Amino acid sequence: MDAKDDQRLLASLLDTIHVKRGNAEFCSRLGVRFSALQKLFFLLYGQRNDTLYWYTELIRLLHKSYLQRPTELRNIDRRRERHPEWLLSEHLVSYMLYVDRFAGDLVKLQSKIPYFKELGVNLIHLMPLLRCPQRDNDGGYAVSNYREVEPRLGTMQDIRSLASMLRREKMFLQLDLVVNHTSDQHEWARRAREGEKEYQDMYFIYDDRTIPECFEESLPEVFPLTAPGNFTYVPQMGKWAMTVFHNYQWDLNYTNPRVFLEMLKNLFFLANQGADVLRLDAVPYLWKRLGTHSQNQQEAHWICQLFHACTRVVCPGVSLVAEAVVEPKEVVRYFGEGENKGAECDMTYHVLLMVLLWDALATGENAVFLRCLQSLPDVPSHATWLTYLRCHDDIGLGYDDEDLRSLGIDPSLHRRYMVDFYSGRYPGSFASGKIFMENPRTGDARISGTAASLTGLEKALTTGVTEDVDRAIQRLLLLYGLAMSFGGVPIIYAGDEVGYCNDYASLDEEAEKADNRWIHRPRIRWDTVERRKVAGTVEERIFRGMRRMIRVRKETGEFSFRARRRFIDTGDSRILCFLRSLERRHTMVLANLSDTFGKVDPLLFHWTGLTGKVVDRLGGRELLPVGNTLIIPPYALYWITRS
């Protein structure tokens, strides 16, 4: 279709769904996005006989959802349309938590807002809190009702109240939307089990193992030890359901346009509760194709782009996060590419940076860090990374194997070293992690553990050696400081700011003992957190260090995502150095990755534009060389600017 055809179709659809001509804002937004909406929808569903019906239903849904948008949130939409760069600000710092483990419920969480302000975080990410089964729930990622909060956590009214309170404090709310699958207890799955064809068509349901066996030839196993295979037999139906994650999580079939529309309704519903950011879970898995590993298919990107375009029509103030834990070069595609660059998701997790930070700490060298980041494409304007050390999930070792080979490193041996090091099996390791999902067939494995336990604090507190405790705190603050200054929105996982170690009590819980990721999802004891107020305690030292880094970050425009980053070779493989520049301002990030003293030539500052006296903004003091050498202590981190 050409532009005139688009306009005629748009006018016809607006008449069909009875959009009032006076609704200028909706019509304007729809007009801007109409061509993209039509192209994406017909790319996905144009082969059907009923495509125009479903496309009309999509436009009807957009109009209805726009009308349901609360006035206060519409005003926010208008401000963010004018200033879409709000996500790129150096002022944004995320805090990630489970409501029950952090505060008990949503009402009690409201009383913790002063704590968030004290620390300096302002994007509060609540882990899954929608209704789910009591036992088989995958930490909330097996949703049985998208319109209700899990009763023990509160109600939708509590969500709205919390969102309103956060807005008054100039904070933001992030919620999760599980888009790839539902719980087998969801109404759609229940009605599918009862034999309703309409609902069976919303999943991948097969009469026998013929097609599932064809899929299994190329589908990897996400949880090979606890959930082998990708299909589950459902006796009540006498059929097989695709269950890529767990046998109680049924994969949704996005070849059915009804699935997309139903999930879009859920997206708008959560947005209208006051969410500023929605995290789309497991987006690489959204499209299945026989003969492939059914991840990162082009149609999965079209679905994300369609979510994005629809959001820009109805609630443009809401940002979308792609949860894409895939190969590094695949991750950046979720920002959009080619003519759709910047038109897919607004944020995605910098999984590679996370892995490389742990790699640098384990090796004490910068070679892998620098090599692996060189080949990543640029991020579009008005989009940004989420930078982090830890999240609720395990640490997977998603290097690009060719990058490792170019350094003369065997990828499989290097991954084995990392697993052994962070599980504490490697001689001399300071870490106390656990091995997660070790696959005896392939040798693949991942790592569980809190940031404090992985950086050595757990072991140091056990031995009681003061120097070891000091070093562990330095390591923890070093990694967080790099995540905060690298570029993007840094995430603090609940408990890291006071040095929470592994919570082994979860291994005795019937519902949790089979999944050791629960050890790094600790239950927060507020008497422990109160120790942040006692000078000299571990909690106080870490909290003070984190709070200072957050404060200095917010004062440093060079740490916004608008700023440029340039890596610098200091000649010392132990030192990681990069320059952040914005207009004529520069801040150099200088970090010693090792437990030995490093050194740099002070001329480095002059070569990078930092002439005259230079100061470390974190330490608040001038940096003075000894002769022609600046000595960098073990695990030291400097944010260096001109005096």
Q: Is residue 543 part of a domain?
A: yes
Q: Are residues 457 and 593 in the same domain?
A: no
- Return the CATH number at 595: 2.60.40.1180
pLDDT bin (cut points 50, 70, 90) of residue 511 is confident
pLDDT in tens, 373-383: 987 888 888 89
Mean pLDDT, rounded, for 553-576: 95
Query: How far apart, in whole angstroms, are the C-alpha atoms of residue 324 and residue 128?
Result: 17
428 lies in the same domain as 496: yes
- Length of the chain counted residue by residue: 643
**pLDDT tier at 543 (50, 70, 90 boundaries)?**
very high
Task: Point out the domain boundary residue: 530, 562, 594.
Answer: 562
* Digit-coded pLDDT (tens) for 81-91: 999 889 999 99
Query: Does 513 reside within a domain?
Result: yes
Q: Which of 593, 594, 611 is nearest to 603 (CA)?
A: 611
Q: Are 491 and 399 in the same domain?
A: yes
Region of poorest pLDDT, from 3-12, 409-418, 461-470: 3-12
> Rounded CA gap, 78 and 24, in Å?
13
Indicate the pLDDT class of residue 263, thresholds 50, 70 and 90.
Answer: very high
Asked if residue 529 has pLDDT above 80, the reply is: yes
Judge if 462 and 526 occupy the same domain: yes
Identify the CATH number of the domain in which residue 379 sits: 3.20.20.80
Residue 596 lies in a domain: yes
Split at pLDDT 50, 70, 90, the class of 17 is confident
What's the pLDDT score for residue 514?
86
> Quick check: 435 pLDDT over 60?
yes
With respect to residue 392, please indicate whether it lies within any of the assigned structural domains: yes
Percent of the chain with pLDDT over 70: 99
Domain boundary among the residues 562, 578, 607 is at 562
Confidence of residue 13 (pLDDT cuts 50, 70, 90): confident
Q: What is the mean pLDDT of residues 518-536?
A: 97
pLDDT at 3 over 70: no
The confidence band for 609, taking pLDDT boundaries of 50, 70 and 90, is confident
Distance CA 61, CA 78 (A): 20
**299 in catalytic set:** no
| Active-site entry in 281, 403, 496, 539 | 281
The answer to whether residue 601 is domain-embedded is yes
Q: Which of 523, 539, 562 is the last residue of a domain?
A: 562
Query: What pLDDT, on the 0 to 100 scale, is given for residue 376?
Result: 83
Q: Residue 92: is its pLDDT beyond 80?
A: yes
Buried-exposed string 393-430: b where 16+ CB fall within 10 A, e elsewhere: bbbbbbbbeebbeeeebeeeebbbbbbbbbbbebeebb
Question: What CA–CA distances, in Å, run from 431 to 2, 272, 424, 447?
Answer: 61, 43, 5, 11
Mark whether 511 and 589 lie in a shared domain: no
| 439 band by pLDDT with thresholds 50, 70 and 90 | confident
Mean pLDDT of 596-618: 87
* pLDDT in the model for residue 624: 84
pLDDT (0 to 100) of residue 389: 97
**557/572 same-domain check:** no
pLDDT band at 422 (very low <50, low <70, confident <90, very high): very high
Residue reference for tokens 């505060």: 103
The answer on 596 and 507 residing in a single domain is no
Q: What is the pLDDT of residue 444?
A: 87
Q: How confident is the model at residue 320 (pLDDT cuts 50, 70, 90)?
A: very high
Structurally, how many domains does the chain consist of?
2
CA distance 491 to 483: 8
Q: What is the mean pLDDT of residues 184-201?
A: 98
- Per DSSP, the three-state class of 621 is strand
Whether residue 598 is found in the same domain as residue 474: no
Together in a domain, 359 and 452: yes
- Give me the mean pLDDT over the 231-236 stretch: 98
- Provide the residue range defining the domain that includes 441: 350-562
Which one is catalytic: 105, 221, 323, 572? Answer: 323
Tell me the pLDDT tens digit for each residue of 154-171: 999 999 999 999 999 999
605 belongs to a structural domain = yes
Residues 588 and 557 in one domain: no
Give yes or no: residues 505 and 544 share one domain.
yes
pLDDT reading at 151 higher than 90: yes
* Contact status, residue 448 vs residue 517, Cβ threshold 8 Å: yes
Any domain includes 70: no
Q: CA 98, CA 291: separation in Å to the nearest integer?
A: 38
Residue 638 included in any domain: yes
Tell me how far apart the alpha carbons of residues 561 and 557 are, in angstroms, rounded to a whole number: 9
Q: Say what the pTM is.
A: 0.96
Please tell me whether residues 383 and 437 are part of one structural domain. yes
Residue 458 a catalytic site member = no
Pairing between β-strand 347-349 and β-strand 384-387 as defined by DSSP bridges: parallel
Average per-residue pLDDT in the chain? 94
CA–CA distance, 563 with 88 (Å, rounded to integer): 9
The strand ranges marked E within 179-331 are: 181-183, 205-206, 231-234, 239-242, 249-251, 277-281, 319-322
The pLDDT score that the predictor gives to residue 43 is: 97
